Amino acid sequence: MKEENTHSGVKEIARRANVSIATVDRVIHNRPGVSEKTKKKINDIITELDYQPNVLASRLASRKIISLAVLIPRVSEETDFWEAPFRGIMRAEAEIRKYGIQVQTFFFDLNDKHSFTEQAELILKKEVQGILLAPSFIDESRQLIQACQKLKIPVVFIDSNVPEQDNLCYIGPHLFQSGYVGAKLLTYRLKENHKVLVVNISKETDNYSYLQIEEGFRSYFKDHSQPCEIIRVDIKDTDKLSVAKELTRVLYDHEDIEAIFVTNSRVFSVASFLENAGRKDISLIGYDFLKENIRFLKEGLIDFLICHKPEEQGFRGLMALYQTLVLGSPVEKVHFMPIDIITKENQAFYQN
């Protein structure tokens, strides 16, 4: 039963091929200076032995440090959503730092496209070997990605995807299905008239993510042929006062609204409004495991939160770069996060 760990390394390969370790090393790293004949012989032996390089020794011996860049939104005073991915990024960094990998994080302002471009240029100057990116601004992201493509720098997207763009992989939600789940959850609370309100609170005009969510949301009612009237309202000013004003107006125009679906993490401002307006009868669903949202969830003003594991997105994003650059193993192109349902009852144990 004592299986000897006959872990054969480069030494064994060199012995079998009657060459030196250095030559084997050259073949492994595709460096020049080896005749075709010896190269083939060594490659055959590598295949035969199913040689797996020792990552520990490899990273220990290689003195060069790999440096990665992260470009994500700054945590604003309005919403602390990006705290979670950042936590995941730091966790991943701590794990791969010992392999000689350095991570530099750059922040941009979600209300300022220019800051994105600025930081992106800074990153390109740093000559990093990989980038983790939250492509919140589509056009600006495209520019950065194209620059990276020329420099052969792999880019990983988190949180939202940029369609038809060459990247290493996307790690984030399936937004359409997420909206679909939202609709389903909403129906648990619907009583009679089936009049629901979709609220999008965002400064961004061309909000691609929002459209996908709403599409999924509407699809659910279509698929189930529910006689459901869907009102929608766009709120461009994200402060609570503006939100309250808009909502007051909408609820006045449509007094029989039963439920509200908020397409992003700003559901807390709607909850706050409902609380003040004394409209606890209206069901409310929104996104993300934020402190403020959890508070309203506990108080019963929010019925469900949907969440896509933002921390894990950050973690996995960096790990994907590590996997490519250090281990050289392939990464799946699209990794959809689970669509988690959070209620008052299970929130205590949720893992962001």
Site for DNA, rule CB under 7 A: 7, 9-11, 14, 18-23, 25-26, 28-29, 32-39, 51, 53-54, 57-58, 60-64
CB of 339 to its own copies, least distance (A): 4
- Counting contacts by CB under 8 A, is residue 221 touching its own copies? no
* Contact pattern from residue 100 through residue 119 relative to its own copies, giving x for each residue in contact according to CB under 8 A and a dash for the rest: --x-----------------
Q: Which is nearer to DNA, 20 or 76 (CB)?
A: 20
Residue 22 interacting entry, from DNA, its own copies, none, C-beta within 5 to 8 Å by type: DNA
Cα atoms found within 13 Å of the Cα of residue 204, Cβ hemisphere only: 17
In whole angstroms, what is the distance from residue 254 CA to residue 298 CA? 28
Rg (CA), the chain: 25
**Length of the chain as a residue count:** 352
Residue carrying the six token digits 């469900």: 304
Residue 349 interacting entry, from its own copies, DNA, none, C-beta within 5 to 8 Å by type: its own copies
| Chain centre to alpha carbon of residue 171 | 5
- Counting contacts by CB under 8 A, is residue 345 touching its own copies? yes
Q: Which of residues 133-192 bind its own copies (CB under 8 A)?
A: 174, 177, 180-181, 184, 188
Q: Which is nearer to its own copies, 255 or 345 (CB)?
A: 345
Angle, vertex CA 97, rays to CA 154 and CA 336, nearest 5: 45
Parallel, antiparallel or unpaired: strands 283-287 and 334-336: unpaired
Residue 350 interacting entry, from its own copies, DNA, none, C-beta within 5 to 8 Å by type: its own copies
Q: Which is nearer to DNA, 38 or 102 (CB)?
A: 38
Which of 93, 214, 292, 340 binds its own copies (CB under 8 A)? It is 340
Structure tokens belonging to residue 334 = 């699209």
Residue 23 interacting entry, from DNA, its own copies, none, C-beta within 5 to 8 Å by type: DNA
Q: Which is nearer to DNA, 18 or 225 (CB)?
A: 18
In whole angstroms, what is the distance from residue 171 CA to residue 132 CA? 10
Residue 33 interacting entry, from its own copies, DNA, none, C-beta within 5 to 8 Å by type: DNA
Show Cβ contacts of residue 82 under 8 Å, excluding neighbours closer than 6 positions: 72, 73, 74, 75, 134, 310
Q: Which is nearer to DNA, 58 or 248 (CB)?
A: 58
240-243, Cβ contacts within 8 angstroms, sequence gap of 24 or more: 240/269, 240/272, 240/273, 243/201, 243/269, 243/270, 243/273
CB of 67 to DNA, least distance (A): 15
In whole angstroms, what is the distance from residue 284 CA to residue 196 CA? 10
Binding positions for its own copies, rule: CB under 8 A: 5, 54-57, 59-60, 65, 98-99, 102, 174, 177, 180-181, 184, 188, 220, 336-341, 343-346, 348-351
